[in-house]
Amino acid sequence: MEMEAFHDLSEDERPSDDSVKDQETEKRGIATESLLPGPPEDKLHRGLNGLHMQMIAFGGSIGTGLFVGSGHAWGFAMGWNYWMQWVVALPFELTVSTIVIRYWDVDGKITSGVWITIFLVLITIINFFGVKGYGNVEVAGSMFKIVAVLAFFIIAIVIDAGGAPSGQYFGAKTWSDPGPTNNGFKGFCSVFVTAAFGYAGTELVGLAARESANPRKEIPKASKQVVYRIILFYCLSLFLVGLIVPYNNPHLAGAKNASSSPFVIAMDLGGVKVMPHIFNAVILVSVLSVGNSASYGASRTIAGMALAGQAPKIFGYIDNRGRPVVALGLSLVIGCLAYLQYASGQDVIFSWLLALSGLSSIITWGSVCAAHIRFRLAFERQGHSLDELPWKSPLGIWGSVFGLVFNVVVLLLNFYISVAPIHPAADANGRAYDFFQSYLTVPVVIAFFVFAKLKWRVTMPALEDIDLDTGREIVPLDILRAEREESNQLPTINKLWNLLC
């Protein structure tokens, strides 16, 4: 996210080309904020405040310009990869929303098509209200989810300790019977993609930065909070679920509605009568929130690519209210694929759509890490000091090295589980089918990369040739030093708060 803080400036604030040249001799001893290459999102309105950014980071997309220095061809491939990740998510989440509704409407008195239409219209209205409407909805949804998860912490501890109406004591029994993992090492490898899907969206602050009122201050604050929010709301909640719900619970895989959610199962096992309904509502809000984010992320990504010449130009149209209406319309039209659940063979269609984006978030985050590494190396190679950055990643370049290596390892492990699945098909055709269901994203991304290589005949730029100057705003280094000195004079409790928040 330090790249986004470094790369943000509105149209009116841009220095002229001549002033940029005059400032070339002043590279050392200055702090800069530069634009992303091209004008992809310059017309978008800056309607997101600090609370919007923090809740978006919690509730979860990355602009194409984030892949600074990763090479034109790979940036092209990543843009389309990221767009596919989100554009496929919208019809999928709309379909899931109908499954969640079935928890209350078991007999299906209201057809799924009605719910799909209602939710699609709702998401359309939210997105056409503009970025502030999107931000306000994310704030409300995230607040609701935060309160619900905090309530779950308390209830889950009571259930685990045997204080729930069922009176059953769980403790850590599930860790020995049936055990912590299913199907051994292969089972462990098989859940990486599911876990990555669960974390997808935490990077949303990267795309929302272009529409933030004060990105230089709000991006670092929102980014820092992502880490401990993940630890608290993701890891702790799943740890508590794991104490109560064994992996062999028949409801986990057998139900065709939201009763297969481990959170709902945990409440049922504790004999808590009302909370399963509340958590089903939380699940529904979460599903619609992801659908809302999907339309936002997909529209901003393809609009950025269009204005950078990497997608049809029509998708780059932005109206006077700062909305990429054509790109947004495309995303919402693709959302209508949710109606395919009425078509014959809809399971096959959806499985292939999901296969297109199955590994997208892993490839995206690996590329983000690689881009950050090259950004830092180019920054140093071109004579800049880290003091010029308004905000620095706490783990620096080594955090990105670890992230890149880890994402590559996950891709290799997923290749292993795709070639040698837990339950292999009986014939060669079946095994090939299963492999591409799991690994289709990789050859698709490679195809985009090769296409860009052949079309533009581009090579990865050398570190000294990466453009870090276009559109920079000169911010004197002494101003940043004064701000940091003022921060250092704060009481310890304030400095600790600023470090974490």
Q: What is the DSSP string of 334-352?
A: HHGGGGGGGSTTHHHHHHH
pLDDT at 38 over 50: no
Give Cα separations from 413 to 209, 352, 379, 417, 444 (angstroms): 33, 21, 33, 6, 19
- Beta-strand (E) ranges in 152-207? none
- Give the model confidence (pLDDT) of 328-366 as tens digits: 999 999 999 889 877 766 677 777 877 888 889 899 999
Residue 196's Cβ-side half-sphere holds a number of Cα atoms within 13 Å equal to 22
In a 10 Å sphere around its CB, with 0-12 CB exposed, 13-18 middle and 19+ buried, how is residue 106 labelled?
Answer: exposed
pLDDT at position 14? 38
- Give the model confidence (pLDDT) of 478-500 as tens digits: 777 777 777 778 788 877 777 66
In a 10 Å sphere around its CB, with 0-12 CB exposed, 13-18 middle and 19+ buried, how is residue 343 labelled?
Answer: exposed
Residues whose CB falls within 8 Å of the CB of residue 349, separated by 6 or more in sequence, listed in order: 337, 340, 343
pLDDT at position 497? 74
Give me 49's structure tokens.
């405040």
Angle at alpha carbon of residue 455, lines to 449 and 458, rounded to 5°? 70
Phi, psi of 389 (to 5 degrees): -80, 130
- For residue 114, the surrounding DSSP H or E stretch is helix 112-128
More confident residue, 329 or 211: 329
Taking residues 203-216, report their average pLDDT: 66
- Structural contact between residues 413 and 192, judged by C-beta atoms closer than 8 angstroms: yes
pLDDT at position 477? 73
Tell me how far apart the alpha carbons of residues 124 and 119 are, in angstroms, rounded to a whole number: 9
Report residue 28's pLDDT band, with 50, 70 and 90 as the boundaries. Answer: very low
pLDDT at position 212? 64
pLDDT at 160 over 90: yes
Taking residues 93-120, report their average pLDDT: 88
- Structural contact between residues 68 and 466, judged by C-beta atoms closer than 8 angstroms: yes
pLDDT at position 116? 92
Q: Which of helix, strand or coil describes residue 24?
A: helix
Phi, psi of 183 (to 5 degrees): 65, 25
Using DSSP bridges, classify how beta strands 473-476 and 30-33 pair: parallel, antiparallel or unpaired. Answer: antiparallel
- Give the model confidence (pLDDT) of 430-468 as tens digits: 888 888 888 889 999 999 999 999 988 888 888 998 888
Length of the chain: 501
Say what the alpha-carbon torsion angle 382, 383, 388, 390 is, to the nearest 10 degrees.
Answer: 30
- Give the model confidence (pLDDT) of 363-398 as tens digits: 999 998 999 999 899 989 999 888 887 778 888 899
- Structural contact between residues 340 and 88, judged by C-beta atoms closer than 8 angstroms: no
pLDDT at position 133? 75
Tell me how far apart the alpha carbons of residues 408 and 390 are, in angstroms, rounded to a whole number: 30
Domains in the chain, please, with CATH? 2-14+48-500 (1.20.1740.10)
Mean pLDDT of the chain: 78
Residue bearing tokens 């403790």: 171
Taking residues 81-101, report their average pLDDT: 89
DSSP label at residue 11: G
Pick from 293, 299, 279, 386: which is nearest to 41 by CA? 299
Taking residues 45-74, report their average pLDDT: 47
